[in-house]
Structure formats: C-alpha cells, structure tokens
C-alpha cells in the first residue's frame, strides 16, 4: 500500500525543471522535463498534470494509459517495455504497484537533495523495483532502476530500459555512428512514428556508439532550438532509442543490452541498470555545457594543469630502441613536454602486435636494465612518466595464455575469432583478475608511474565464461570497473587515459574513473576537427587527448602545416605524437611556440564554456572556449573545405557577456592567414576591433578567408561593461 506522500514532485536546478507524478499508484511518470517552470505550488503542479493528461480516443483502452519511466505493456503501453523477462515463460508482463515515493538527499553530493526514489512491487511476478531519479546542480538528469527477485524459482531478466518523455515538437533525431579512425560521425533524420534504435553489441562502448542520442525541434543547432539528449552510461553492450507512438507520445531512453541468460534472479538477487544520463538545452551548446559542468564536479576530477604529453606510438611504433627513446625524451623536454608516455612494445615477447599481451613484465632482452635508464632520464628532464597497458586482452602467443587457456573468454566449446591477433581475458575469473592487478601494481610501484594509457583493442565476440559456457559481457564490464577502481585505490595519484582502438570507450561511466580519453587513433587534424566537435558534446575538452602528429598524417596521408595541427590540438589535452628527432628546426621552433601558448591559456580554457557557431556555410566552422568569468575567450576560424562563396561572410561569436565591450584580435602563432589568390586580411585584422558581446553574438564580424584545411585564432578580452 502506498505510504502517505505527496503526489507530485518538482526537481529544479541548473535552469531545468523535472516534474514527477507519483499519484497513479503505478510507475511514476515525468510530466515535464525541460525549461524551468515558475509555478511550484502543489496546486500549480496539479494543474500542470491535469493539463498534460492525454484524452481517451476511439479504439483505445478505456482508461488513461500511463507512460512511466519504466513503461508497462500490462498497463496498455504499446511501445518498448521498461522491464522484459519471465519466470519459465510465465509472468511475462509485470505490472508494478507504487508502495512509497519521496524526495531526499543523494549519496552523491552533485545531486544534493534533488533525489526522487520510488519503491514498486509486483507481488504476483515476485519482483521489487527501486526507481531513482536525480537532478544535478548543472541540470543533468539521471535515472536508474534496481530489480530484485522475491519469488520462488528464477526470474530471467531480458531487459531493463528507462524512458524519458519528449514533446511532440521534438521532430528531429541526431545520433552518431562511426568506425575506427572516424568516430563520432553525426547523422540526422526525422523523428517519425515507430522505434529508432541504436544498439551496441561490441562488449565496449564502440566506435559506432551514440555518445549522445538527441531529439529536438526541427533544424536545432548549437545555439538554437530545444533539444533533449540521453546517453546510457555503460561500457558494455547497450541500447539507446527514441520512440513515438501514433497517439503522439514520444520517449527517448535506453539501458544495458543483455545477452541471453546474463541476468537470472533467484529470490533476493538484484540487478541494477546503468545510469541513463540526460540533458536539455536551448541549442546543443547549452545541453553540452550542462554535461561538462556535471563531469567536472566528480570526486577526484583532475584539477592540476593538463600536462603536455609526448606519446611514442606514431613516433617509433614497436621500434623501442633505448638510444632513440632517450634522444626523443631530450627533444621533448626542449619543446616543453611535461609527460613522456611509452606506448605498446615494452613488455615480454612484444615485437609486434601478434604476441605478448598478458605477460605484463619487462622484456629483459630489449631492456636488460629494465626501464630504469629511460625513466631516470625522463624524470631528470623534469617530465612525468607514463606507460601503455591493454589489461583486458591476451595474445594466444603468450606465456599467460599457454599456462592458463581457461582465462580466455569463450562459450567453452570453441574459441572466438581473433582480432588483432588477440583474445579477451576473462576478468570475472578471480585468478585472471589477480594476475593483471598484481602485475600492473608491481610496475606502477616499481617505477612510480604517473599515468597509464589503458587500451582495449577489440570487440567482445562470442564472449562467455568458458567454465560455465554462459554469456559474460555484463560480468566483464563490471570486472573492468573493479580493476580500475582497485588500481586507483592503491595508487591515488595515478592518472588513467581511457583508450579503446581510439574512441571506442568514451561513455560517462568511464569518465567517472578516467582523467582523459583518447578520442581517436586518427590524429589527422581535419578528421580531429570533426571528431572532437561531436565527442565534445558530452566530454569536456580537457579530457580529450588531442595530439600533434607528423605533417603527413599516418592514418590518412593528408599533409597539414603545423598551425593547423597544433591549432586543432590546443583546444584539448595537448600532446605530441611525432618523432621530434626527425622534425625540422623551423617546425620544432613553431611547435615550441604553440606549447607555450597552450600553457598560457589552459588554466582558464580547461574550466571554460565550449561554444560552436551555427555558420550557414558548412565549409567554415567556428570553435571556441569562453572563460568562466567571461573575461576572455579563444576562437578558431576553420576552413574545413572550399566554399561556394568567398569570403566566408560574417561569423558570430557566441558565449560572451552581452553587456561588456571586448577587444578582438588575432593571436600568434595562429595568425598565419595563407595569402593565396591575392587575398587580403579583413579590415579589422591588423589592429583588432572593439565591440560589445551582444554585437559579436548577434552580428559578428567578417571572418578571414582561408585556404581549405587551415585555421586562424582570435583572442577576445574584456575591456569594460557597456553603459545602460
């Protein structure tokens, strides 16, 4: 029986209102999620709930069909059910009754007292459910549910999907696909009737994962249109969807994609879904800013300046010659590098990608004195030291695999196909887990390692626990989290980068335990402009590793000058991935200038608000960061391709204080407008210009004409407040 409780609850924070109706004696419904509401009295909320209640129409169920956060087919919802499962075929459609509902404090300080909890039960099916909805200070909404079996026998849970309502005027969907070296590729289409589903069955977040599944008013952009977006924060199999029924009611939601038999609940057993994170905004930039503000407030978030990194991968690949690496370290220190990371190739038997994974000990034939000579040089030069691992993988050609074939994930009667000559290590096996944890811990302790690049280079295919022959992706994902958490507990100062063949593991749950992500194995600056533009909707720029590669990109063979490469990387967590020993003196000098600029700007940029322009010419992009106090900003004008028009026209600069006057001026070394075809600089370029933030946002200024695949930087600084 429902305890004494209010019917309606209003969560309000960060310019977002969430109104929850818990008065229907079933699964609570969200009456409103979006722009803040002014009426917060019980009477006003009752009126809102009444106004939003759909009428009963012809040939429909004779009672109002509720649309709860866990939609129920037994109540008449004809779309995707919140809970799907059965008891040996019976109890196939749960119908939950509400027993208690309340708002109170959250164990996560980011949500303070904006935590709604509902207790529900289906006595006949033998299920109890706890539903949690929380709203962060920045306006990010998150929800999850825990299902507990309370009946005799086994309840097989096939799926647990949470759903959030979206209004009828959300008529367009933006989601993302991608592949290796081309992550975060946007795709837009109409939000038509039916189900629009993005499923990830790769056992990791996936290159083709939609880090944001957004629906909004037609034509919504970075600055315009209402938009609602969600992400299933889970690093394994997942399902995200948008759905609209012929009655006009629509939802966006998702959950873990469970493989057959992964969750079987005996009496007292529980399953907790991943968090479904959601953000609302007027334009994608506002939605994104809420995500950024939320991520930046997690416990243990890196607050020290994000160091300039040199990673050895594209510099030397597997050719890890000590003399070469010492020379590279010397050059790195000269240009201002602060963290030197030794990538793949340092461990036992590792000459190429075909062998050695699982044998996490120094290869004494390559390193007769261990890593000590390199580590000592790196530290003597004033740099931190980082090391690459791929803890969840194992090569069949390794001592670990030969000694423990039972550690390889499989159905038990066949081996999955190899990928990159490797299989997956079953971390749910306590012995395998301990082997990896102790091997890594020993090396971190021995060399006082500052940073781990944590890689994961293959999908999980046919991934089971070989002893039992059952699916194991769910268990593997949780074991990965435990491994990271235990390592960080042992070494609190250790920083970790989440890499997975580039950007195939970049979800919000990984960001709870990572200090940066590797957005892509492609560091071609043109591709990185696209990848970081969209990955950055949920991931703050200081968490996105962005490196300067060689002038000829290894992954695409495009050729770009240092200004385009460095001017792209400066907006992220800056790094280098080229062999500086082979770079020209001029290029080294210019790179040194870019690193100095990054160090000068990173303090405020890595706390600032990211903005992106809605310029009508898709060949010309604007990218910027505005400081928290809006005293200054850095923008880049980027020519992504040739344009049908020339010059590019007026470009607006969003994000500034409309009541202040700002000085806008080119910023060296990003001032290299390429004078081709006798182009002259815009009239304001040489001496700068002073305009109000309002004028810059509403009118803009004439952008410089650039050769394709080039950029220019402008620095915007506050002068004073305008009168009025």
Q: For residue 18, what are the β-bridge partners?
A: 11, 33
- Cα 691 to Cα 444: distance, rounded to the nearest angstrom: 52
Token pair for 697: 């946002």
Q: Are strands 172-179 and 182-190 parallel, antiparallel or unpaired?
A: antiparallel
**271 CB contacts (<8 Å, ≥6 apart)?**
146, 147, 157, 160, 263, 265
Q: Is residue 309 within 8 Å of 580, Cβ to Cβ?
A: no
Residues in the chain: 724
Place of tokens 């001496």: 687
What is the side-by-side strand order in the sheet with 689-692?
609-612, 620-626, 632-639, 710-721, 660-666, 689-692
Q: Is 269 a catalytic residue?
A: no
Task: Spell out where 555-678 has E strands.
Answer: 573-576, 609-612, 620-626, 632-639, 650-651, 660-666
Q: Which of 173, 196, 170 is nearest to 249 (CA)?
A: 170
Distance of CA 646 to the CA centre of its chain: 36
Place of tokens 């609602």: 228
- Cα 634 to Cα 713: distance, rounded to the nearest angstrom: 7
**Active-site residue identified among 343, 426, 455, 475:** 455
Distance of CA 1 to the CA centre of its chain: 41
Q: Which of 533, 534, 531, 528 is nearest to 548 (CA)?
A: 528
**Active-site residue identified among 21, 426, 459, 521:** 521
- Cα 615 to Cα 38: distance, rounded to the nearest angstrom: 34
- Cα 573 to Cα 550: distance, rounded to the nearest angstrom: 18
Distance of CA 335 to the CA centre of its chain: 30
- Cα 128 to Cα 123: distance, rounded to the nearest angstrom: 8
- Cα 381 to Cα 643: distance, rounded to the nearest angstrom: 46
Place of tokens 């907006």: 571
Place of tokens 């069955």: 201
Q: Is 521 a catalytic residue?
A: yes
Count CA atoms within 13 Å of residue 73 on its CB side.
Answer: 13
Distance of CA 16 to the CA centre of its chain: 21
Residues designated as active site: 455, 521
């Amino acid at each position: 029986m429902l305890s004494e409780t209010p019917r309606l609850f209003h969560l309000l924070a960060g310019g977002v209102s969430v109104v929850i109706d818990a008065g229907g004696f079933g699964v609570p419904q969200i009456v409103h999620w979006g722009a803040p509401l002014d009426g917060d009295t019980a009477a006003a909320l009752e009126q809102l709930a009444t106004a939003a209640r759909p009428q009963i129409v012809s040939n429909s169920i004779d009672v109002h069909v509720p649309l709860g956060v866990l939609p129920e087919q037994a109540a008449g919802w004809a779309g995707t059910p919140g809970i799907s499962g059965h008891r040996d075929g019976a109890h196939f459609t749960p119908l939950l009754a509400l027993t208690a509902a309340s708002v109170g404090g959250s164990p996560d300080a980011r949500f303070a007292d904006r935590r709604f909890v509902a207790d529900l039960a289906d006595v006949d099916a033998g299920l109890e459910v706890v539903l949690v909805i929380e709203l962060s200070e920045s306006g990010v909404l998150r929800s999850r549910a825990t299902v507990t079996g309370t009946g005799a026998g086994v309840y097989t849970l096939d799926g647990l999907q949470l759903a959030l309502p979206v209004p009828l005027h959300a008529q367009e969907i933006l989601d993302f696909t991608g592949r290796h070296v081309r992550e975060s590729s946007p795709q837009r289409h109409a939000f038509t009737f039916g189900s629009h589903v993005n499923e990830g069955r790769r056992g990791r977040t996936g290159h083709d994962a939609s880090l944001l599944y957004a629906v909004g008013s037609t034509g919504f952009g970075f600055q315009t249109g209402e938009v609602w977006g969600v992400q299933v924060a889970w690093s394994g199999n997942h399902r995200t969807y948008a759905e609209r029924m012929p009655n006009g009611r629509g939802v966006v939601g998702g959950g873990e994609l469970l493989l057959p038999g992964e969750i079987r609940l005996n009496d007292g057993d529980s399953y907790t879904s991943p968090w479904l994170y959601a953000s609302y905004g007027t334009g994608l930039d506002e939605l994104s800013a809420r995500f950024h503000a939320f991520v930046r407030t997690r416990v243990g978030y890196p607050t020290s300046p994000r160091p300039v990194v040199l990673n050895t991968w594209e510099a030397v690949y597997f050719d890890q010659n000590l003399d070469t690496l010492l020379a590279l370290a010397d050059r790195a220190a000269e240009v201002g590098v602060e963290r030197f990371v030794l990538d793949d190739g340092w461990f036992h038997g590792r000459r190429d990608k075909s062998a050695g994974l699982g044998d996490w000990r120094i290869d004494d034939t390559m390193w007769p004195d261990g890593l000590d000579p390199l580590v000592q040089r790196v530290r003597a030069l004033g740099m931190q030291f980082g090391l690459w691992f791929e803890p969840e993988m194992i090569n069949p050609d390794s001592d670990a695999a030969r000694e423990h074939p039972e550690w390889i994930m499989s159905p038990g009667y066949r081996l999955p196909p190899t990928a990159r000559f490797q299989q997956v290590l079953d971390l749910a096996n306590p012995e395998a887990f301990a082997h990896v944890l102790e091997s890594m811990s020993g090396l971190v302790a021995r060399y006082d390692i500052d940073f781990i690049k944590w890689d994961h280079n293959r999908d999980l295919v046919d991934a089971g626990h070989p002893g039992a022959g059952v699916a194991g992706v769910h268990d593997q994902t949780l074991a990965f989290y435990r491994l990271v958490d235990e390592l960080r507990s042992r070494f609190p100062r250790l920083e970790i980068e989440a890499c997975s063949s580039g950007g195939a593991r970049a979800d919000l749950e990984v960001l709870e335990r990572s200090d940066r992500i590797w957005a892509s194995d492609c560091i071609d600056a043109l591709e990185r402009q696209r990848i970081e533009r969209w990955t950055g909707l949920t991931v703050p720029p200081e968490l996105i590793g962005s490196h300067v590669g060689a002038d000829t990109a290894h992954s695409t063979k495009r050729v770009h000058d240092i200004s385009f490469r460095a001017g792209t990387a400066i907006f992220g967590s800056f790094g280098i991935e080229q062999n500086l020993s082979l770079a020209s003196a001029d290029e080294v000098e210019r790179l040194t200038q870019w690193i100095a600029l990054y160090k000068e700007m990173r303090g405020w940029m890595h706390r600032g608000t990211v903005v992106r322009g809605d310029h009508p010419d898709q060949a010309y992009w604007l990218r910027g960061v505005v400081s928290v106090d809006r005293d200054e900003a850095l923008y880049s004008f980027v020519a992504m391709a040739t344009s049908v028009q020339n010059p590019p026209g007026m470009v607006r600069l969003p994000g500034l204080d409309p009541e202040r006057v700002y000085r806008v001026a080119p910023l060296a070394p990003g001032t290299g407008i390429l004078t081709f075809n006798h182009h002259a600089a815009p009239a304001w370029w040489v001496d700068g210009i002073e305009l109000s933030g309002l004028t810059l946002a509403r009118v803009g200024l004439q952008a410089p004409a650039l050769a394709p695949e080039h950029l220019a930087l402008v620095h915007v600084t506050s002068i004073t407040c305008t009168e009025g």
